[in-house]
A = this chain, B = another copy of it.
């Protein structure tokens, strides 16, 4: 099982440290960003599973960060707010944040909120139990585990994200630009070649006959799709 990745966008050093320690103790993989701009870049490049954003950032309003993020991503967002930031907190939730924590908060509350947000994100994407299977393949989105004939298969982060997007839209043809946006972010939308490389890798890891794929199907000139049945 791969651990979930969280990005913390927070300017105060001590809060950052507290968050990192609390999350790493639970097995999360943590990255930090000190400013909004930095944070947005980090989300685009690292593709975390969730983001924690402090509302009182120096360069950019936390609300702005949430808004910008929501232009292309549905990633879970939890905001941290001081008691004085009541109004902004509401606005941040309005523009798409998932949940909030009012400082000061304890570790237990923090972790509970994170678990809820992650679970909701997964079940939102796939109404159901978060697992898919086709023939001898199973994809468990909650535990981030892929098995082929019972054996676990190791996927790199990009491979995993690509496969989970495909699986969540099982049967539907996903265009190149959609897949690129979902997996690599909005800055790589013209790089369709990445898809070919990673589709090839996925096929070699998942398919019996990578040359004649049964799961990952190509729609020439359009995109790819994950087979049903």
Contact = CB atoms under 8 A, between A and B. Distances in A.
Contacts of A144: 172-173, 219, 222, 225
A151 to B, nearest CB: 13
A157 interface: yes
A5 B53 CA distance: 60
Interface string A202-229: 0000000000000000011110010000
A194 B225 CA distance: 28
A185 to B, nearest CB: 15
Interface in A59-114: none
Contact of A171 (B143, B172, B173): B143
Contacts of A142: 172
Nearest to A228: B143
Contacts of A172: 142-144
Interface string A150-177: 0000001100100000000001110000
Interface of A: 142-145, 156-157, 160, 171-173, 219-222, 225
11 contacts: A142-B172, A143-B172, A143-B173, A144-B172, A144-B219, A144-B222, A145-B173, A156-B221, A157-B220, A157-B222, A160-B222
Given A156-B221, A160-B222, 11 more contacts: A142-B172, A143-B171, A143-B172, A143-B173, A144-B172, A144-B173, A144-B225, A145-B171, A145-B173, A157-B220, A157-B221
